[in-house]
């Protein structure tokens, strides 16, 4: 079974009990539709005196009852379709969102953010219509087949005429699914590319404005519009072609049934009521609009499932179930190597042991691999080979909760997520200690709602944002990794934060990526990274004797 097919089944399952309800309602509705012409024909024959038995009033009561059933089934179907779709879309979005956040950041970064958002919002909405679409696809042929049986029972010549018409319709529709699938898939792909470029442009709006390249950027962002327009026009052309062919064939088929039915009526093989029923069966069975609509929905659902399954097919990061034993936070990298997408080694067989409670500052020239080493240290990125251990436990063997409680990251440009300031920092417990350590407590106290202030309403500088991100990182219990996390702070604030991080009261293992000689001088150990290798590890005063080491800071 393909990933798209598995996702389709998951979407159907997410609809819950609405799927069987819709199936029952659809079958009941089709049965009422097929019974109505026959009952109405009997009522006509009873009224003109050509049918013995029950009076016309009884047959008319049956007609009214069937109409009531059709109205009720239509109401339940419409409501159930919306409810089933809503449940499926919600379930699929939760699944896709969880999977996106479970991916290795390197894998997720290969896809434009806008494209991922388009899949999560647009394509999942199409895939979420799976349950009602499957029910519709399973029952869409019942009216034509039921009409064929009814026409054959009325007069075999009518059944033969109807078969010929259906075969002609099938020939005319044979290319509809393939053409519509290609057009819809192309449209969704172009839509995702357009969304990706738009998100990139919005993220760099200040740079674009400063460079004066707005016109050029608009042209770049709107490049996929031509393909979007072409695929959209192709979709409507295919639908219009199918509708046009149906508009030609349907009247011809009904006219043929009228002609054959008229001859049968003249020959005495058919009553007036049966002729009326035959005309209605011909219209019901040859209605191309329902078939085309069902096929179009099926095409969109299949395309949506393919686009969503494409992301779900990416392997999620695996975790173990272990917790950390008591320990000081000793970190060890054993033969760690990381390669780029082109196969070039970015970290090459790095061996590094950081005793628990040590302040290790990582230095090196730009592009040497400092940030990558920091990312590997706390499992922000998994190495391609080698092993990283924290207090003797390989990081991939830790349970997610154990890993995230033990390790904290602070970044140069942190992204704050959450509805409130407290949620952005992760204030499950007392926020005061970490906020004071990050020198952000006074800023939060001045906010109208303090920690409950909506994050979207807070105007903050780059340094304040950085300090909030640092406060979030300071919740780590054993390993704190800071990647240039104080670069936006003023001198006084940076001194306060640095004093906290380097003071004797902090017993965690701390890894700080820095370009500043003052931070290196305060460190217990300095790891000098050069060309993806750890060139040396030692106290700053010892490494300072090497002129190449001194050149790192001059650069």
Q: DSSP string of 337-374?
A: EEE-TTS-EEEEEEEEEE-TT-EEEEE-STTSSHHHHH
Contacts for 535-542 with beta carbons within 8 Å, 24 or more apart? 537/352, 540/361
Q: Are 180 and 46 part of one and the same domain?
A: yes
Residue that the structure tokens 């998100």 belong to: 199
What pLDDT, on the 0 to 100 scale, is given for residue 114?
75
Q: What is the DSSP letter of 412?
A: S
Q: Are 199 and 117 part of one and the same domain?
A: yes
Q: Are 253 and 362 part of one and the same domain?
A: no
411: region left, alpha or beta (phi > 0 left; psi from -120 to 50 alpha)? beta
Return the ∠ at Cα 172 (arms to 167 and 178), rounded to 5°: 120
Q: Are 476 and 418 part of one and the same domain?
A: yes
Counting the structural domains of the chain, the total is: 2
For 81, other C-beta atoms within 10 Å of its C-beta total: 20
Q: Are 139 and 22 part of one and the same domain?
A: yes
Closest CA to 179 of 226, 134, 241, 128: 241
Winning range, highest mean pLDDT, from 159-173, 321-335, 433-447 = 321-335
- Is residue 216 assigned to a domain? yes
- Is residue 320 assigned to a domain? no
For residue 274, name the pLDDT band (cuts at 50, 70, 90).
confident
Helices (H) and strands (E) in the chain, counts: 25, 10
Sign of CA dihedral 100, 103, 104, 110: negative
**pLDDT at residue 552 above 60?**
yes
Q: Domain span at residue 282?
A: 3-312
513-551: per-residue pLDDT in tens?
Answer: 988 888 888 889 999 999 899 999 999 999 999 999 999
| Residues 6 or more apart whose Cβ sits within 8 Å of residue 141 | none
pLDDT > 70 fraction of the chain, expressed in percent and rounded: 92
- Is residue 322 assigned to a domain? no
Its pTM stands at 0.73
Q: Are 277 and 426 part of one and the same domain?
A: no
Q: Are 260 and 388 part of one and the same domain?
A: no
Q: Give the integer Cα–Cα distance in Å for 15 and 305.
A: 15
Q: Are 400 and 308 part of one and the same domain?
A: no
Q: Residue 427: helix, strand or coil by DSSP?
A: coil
234-258: per-residue pLDDT in tens?
Answer: 877 877 776 676 666 677 777 777 7
| Residues 6 or more apart whose Cβ sits within 8 Å of residue 486 | 466, 470, 494, 497, 498
90-139: per-residue pLDDT in tens?
Answer: 888 888 888 888 888 777 777 777 778 878 877 888 888 888 888 888 88
Beta carbons of 450 and 444 less than 8 angstroms apart:
yes
Return the ∠ at Cα 91 (arms to 119 and 398), rounded to 5°: 90
434-449: per-residue pLDDT in tens?
Answer: 888 888 888 888 888 8
- Is residue 324 assigned to a domain? no
Output the six-digit token pair for 311: 């992301």
Q: Are 123 and 209 part of one and the same domain?
A: yes
Domain end residue (candidates: 279, 312, 345): 312
Q: Are 166 and 306 part of one and the same domain?
A: yes
- Is residue 421 assigned to a domain? yes
385-390, strands of its sheet edge to edge = 345-354, 331-339, 385-390, 393-394
Q: Are 219 and 305 part of one and the same domain?
A: yes
Q: Residue 491: helix, strand or coil by DSSP?
A: helix
- Is residue 265 assigned to a domain? yes
Q: Give the integer Cα–Cα distance in Å for 125 and 123.
A: 5
Return the ∠ at Cα 33 (arms to 32 and 34), rounded to 5°: 90
**pLDDT at residue 288 above 70?**
no
Output the six-digit token pair for 131: 């349950």
Q: Are 154 and 241 part of one and the same domain?
A: yes
Domain end residue (candidates: 312, 343, 359): 312
């Amino acid at each position: 079974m393909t990933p798209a097919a598995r996702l389709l089944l998951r979407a159907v399952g997410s609809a819950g009990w609405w799927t069987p309800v819709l199936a029952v309602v659809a079958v009941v509705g089709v049965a009422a539709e097929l019974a109505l012409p026959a009952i109405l024909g009997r009522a006509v024959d009873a009224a003109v005196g050509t049918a013995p038995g029950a009076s016309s009033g009884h047959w008319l009561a049956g007609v009214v009852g069937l109409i009531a059933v059709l109205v009720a089934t239509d109401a339940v179907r419409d409501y159930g379709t919306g409810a089933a779709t809503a449940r499926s879309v919600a379930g699929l979005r939760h699944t896709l969102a969880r999977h996106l956040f479970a991916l290795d950041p390197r894998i997720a970064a290969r896809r434009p953010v806008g494209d991922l958002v388009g899949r999560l919002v647009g394509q999942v909405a199409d895939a979420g219509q799976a349950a009602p679409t499957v029910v519709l696809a399973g029952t869409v042929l019942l009216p034509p087949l039921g009409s064929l049986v009814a026409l054959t029972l009325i007069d075999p010549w009518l059944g033969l005429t109807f078969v010929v018409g259906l075969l002609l319709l099938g020939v005319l529709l044979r290319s509809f699914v393939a053409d519509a699938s290609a057009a819809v898939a192309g449209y969704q792909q172009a839509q995702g590319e357009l969304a990706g470029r738009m998100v990139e442009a919005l993220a760099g709006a200040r740079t674009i404005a400063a460079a004066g390249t707005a016109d050029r950027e608009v042209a770049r962002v709107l490049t996929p519009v031509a393909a979007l327009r072409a695929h959209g026009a192709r979709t409507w052309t295919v639908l219009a072609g199918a509708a046009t062919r149906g508009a030609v064939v349907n009247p011809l088929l009904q006219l043929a049934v009228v002609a054959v039915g008229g001859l049968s009526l003249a020959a005495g093989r058919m009553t007036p009521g049966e002729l009326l029923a035959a005309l209605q069966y011909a219209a019901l069975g040859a209605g191309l609009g329902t078939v085309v609509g069902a096929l179009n929905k099926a095409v969109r659902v299949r395309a949506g499932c393919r686009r969503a399954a494409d992301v779900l097919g990416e392997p999620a990061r695996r975790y173990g179930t272990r917790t950390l034993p008591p320990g000081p936070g000793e970190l060890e990298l054993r033969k760690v190597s990381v390669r780029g997408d082109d196969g070039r080694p970015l970290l090459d067989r790095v061996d590094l042991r950081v005793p628990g409670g040590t302040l290790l500052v990582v230095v090196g020239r730009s592009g040497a691999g400092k940030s990558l080493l920091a990312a590997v240290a706390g499992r922000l990125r998994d190495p391609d080979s080698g092993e990283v251990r924290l207090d003797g436990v390989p990081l991939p063997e830790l349970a997610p909760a154990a890993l995230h409680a033990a390790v904290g990251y602070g970044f140069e440009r942190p992204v704050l997520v959450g509805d409130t300031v407290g949620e952005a920092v992760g204030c499950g417990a007392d926020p005061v200690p970490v906020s004071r350590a990050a020198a952000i407590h006074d800023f939060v106290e001045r906010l109208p709602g303090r920690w409950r202030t909506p994050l979207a309403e807070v105007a903050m500088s780059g340094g304040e944002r950085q300090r909030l991100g640092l406060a979030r990182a300071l919740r780590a219990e054993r390993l704190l990794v800071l990647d240039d996390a104080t670069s936006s702070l003023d001198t006084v604030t940076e001194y306060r934060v640095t004093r906290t991080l380097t003071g004797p009261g902090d017993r965690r293992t701390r890894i700080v990526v820095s370009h500043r000689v003052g931070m290196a001088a305060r460190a217990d150990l300095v790891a000098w990274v050069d060309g993806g290798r750890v060139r040396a590890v030692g106290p700053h005063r010892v490494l300072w004797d090497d002129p190449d080491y001194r050149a790192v800071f001059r650069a």
